Structure 1
């Protein structure tokens, strides 16, 4: 196997998942990686592991460098199984290794997953672990995105092992940012942030403050490429992601049964265009909610529509609203719309969900009985344009 070196005696030993297309409910069209790192020192240390199906690949990569049974420490920055899943396989070989994890959440989580048969050592923010020539300092990043999360900093090498922060689901045969197309990396970083970290903007901001205070030459995340050339750009991008600053852009998101709600969506879109607002139309039958979430992250307006179905809304729209409510987008404005036959519950249901998401409701719901006429569609277009301009 290819040996990927970050520094002398520091190696990438993770796995590339070329075929995964769904992760945490969102699409990973470019695959993913599960990054793990090996430090050869007086104490041999493995930082994070990989998803369980890739445990054999992890051990094979380590074996190209050193006998895995000689591992002294396994640093678990995060309990989630895409990072910790191979711990049992590694511990089966490195029987005397100590698992280093955060206190108390990391220990609680690892024991819940893998039992208490291993030798655990807990650390808290600011604790340092000596490896010999190098040392590791641990920085707690709780709720970025689980309570146990932490990052690990090697001051002698100026490397931050950042776990989920600054990562991307992006499979590549290259492992460093200056070897790949950074425009693609940034797209995937934004999608990752929007679908995983959006609810935790405050925590992300605090983490950036900490990171920017460190002498730093490399960020080694647990997903995607290692940053050594574009660190400043990524930190600036993250600062923008976690701010509540929005772009003047409108998203019109809908599903339709017999095209009536679709016609309304198109009229609303034309209204935003007339008001000079960039806008995007998303039919939920054709677009995945995770791709829409990436646009929601920095859009100012979110308008959602559905017809009535059995005194409720279409399942696609319900799923989108549930997904977005969990992501808790900040600083949005919007309203509900939709057509109906004999029961007009749809728009009230949508508005209630928007309000639960803390969306500022800027207009009463727009509802149309059965098929809207051309005149009614023109009225919708003018109403929206006047609302935004006014």
Structure 2
């Protein structure tokens, strides 16, 4: 679909199906948009990013009275294939188009597509396209090393690449058009997008926000999700807060990750949830592997503490939970308070593997408890006591 941002800027929004996996990893049950933008000056017409397939681009341009061949400059804020997958088509039809990119982006363009007409931007460089001035800012590792952002000086529009984006498909284009139902989707899907895509690079997010703080930003146009025009500062502050969760402080919440083969480990959870509620602590529960790891990651990322409740499986930690912990480690989840407990029968071993993960992730382990079968009243009390200590540790 096509939407007008202002008289010179047009959004081209393409939806990825809810059946797809974003980056081949992350479920998008509510879809995700891939956003590209056309900026028309009196002298030059500029495309900011492209698409994965190029589908319907011609018809969207035709609605503006343009052809793909009329585009003078392609700005590649980011070379990930969801924004560049159809570049072969574009370069075949527009062999002389000038590309603006960072040095690494330029190298990737030449290496992957053989396109030589590439201008390497310098940080803060300006390009006048006739009545509109584009300013380029290198913002490496948000979330690829080639990433940059583009700013229209006269309009205060920031094309922020993958920063300030979100999962989810929305009928609304702008933040001030969102329905209550869309807002309810946007919050968790922004935080899941951040945790899944950006979290590992949180120091660079904070650095980038600081570097751009002097700009008078009136509108933020990200590569995924909605356009922020009513209150762009809201999503900037939101991302800044999400980035601070890397080192803390975080929300005084506890996320309980649960794996259970025959219900023995699971049987302890409802009591713990009630204890947390009585203490006024928000508690999130996530079943593993029933729930994709990205939903676990989203909850743990914001939580000051979490619980790993999983049994022993063949003398090691339950495989699905081990996979989840491996992902949390890869995504820079560290420094949280944590409690482990789980059932075993003819052999233990899960606690040993959990403790190895905890050491690697620099977690503060409140306790690590293995019990046999359904456990005894003493086991139940020990787990309850450990959970209460976890609550006290985050108050």
TM-score by length of 2: 0.91
C-alpha distance 183-265 of structure 1, shift in aligned 2 (>3 A) = closer
1:245 matched to 2:249: yes
**1:385 alignment partner, one of 382, 385, 388:** 388
SS at match of 2:252: strand
CA distance in 2, matches of 1:338, 1:3: 52
The structural deviation recorded for 1:37 is 0.5
- 1:133 matched to which residue of 2? 131
The answer on whether the counterparts of 2:30 and 2:169 sit within 8 Å (CA) in structure 1 is yes
Alignment deviations for residues 5-56 of structure 1 (CA, whole Å, 9 cap, x no partner): 111121112312343442132221221111001112211110000112xx02
Change in Cα spacing, 1:333 to 1:12, as seen in structure 2 (3 Å) is same
State whether structure 2 residue 375 is matched by structure 1 residue 372: yes
Distance 1:77 1:382, change over 3 A: same
**Which residue does 1:22 correspond to in 2?**
21
SS, match of residue 56 in structure 1? coil
Name the SS for the 2:323 alignment partner.
helix
In structure 2, distance between residues paired with 1:188 and 1:375: 41
Q: Quick one: which of 354, 358, 365 aligns to 1:354?
A: 358
Question: Equivalents in 2 of 1:389, 1:101: separation in Å?
Answer: 50
Deviations 1:214-255 (A, max 9, x none): 111111100011110121221221121111221111112121
Instruction: Establish whether residue 313 from structure 1 lines up as the match of residue 317 from structure 2.
Output: yes
> Is residue 58–residue 67 contact of structure 2 (8 Å, CA) maintained in 1?
no
State the distance in 1 between where 2:225 and 2:391 align: 40
Q: Does 1:293 align with 2:294?
A: no
Per-residue CA deviations over 1:109-145 (Å, capped at 9, x if unaligned) read 333432x234211113212222122221111111111
RMSD: 2.1
Aligned twin of 2:230: 229
Contact 2:341 2:383 in 1 (8 A): no
User: Equivalents in 2 of 1:371, 1:198: separation in Å?
Assistant: 37
Distance 1:338 1:369 in 2: 9
Map of 1:277 onto structure 2: 281
Q: 1:248 to 1:387 in 2, by over 3 A?
A: closer
Q: Secondary structure at the match of 1:13?
A: strand
- State the number of aligned residues: 384
Q: Distance in 2 between matches of 1:109 and 1:225?
A: 28
Distance 1:137 1:241, change over 3 A: same
Aligned counterparts of 2:238 and 2:112: Cα–Cα separation in 1: 34
157-166 or 259-268, larger mean C-alpha shift: 259-268
Unmatched tracts of structure 2, length 5 or more: none
Question: What residue is the counterpart of 1:100 in the other structure?
Answer: 100
- State the 1:274 CA deviation: 5.6
Aligned runs of 1:34-183 on 2, under 5 Å? 34-41=34-41, 42-52=43-53, 55-65=54-64, 66-103=66-103, 105-114=104-113, 116-181=114-179, 182-183=183-184
| Corresponding residue SS for 1:212 | coil
Structure 1 position 278, deviation (Å): 2.6
Match of 1:304 among 304, 308, 313: 308
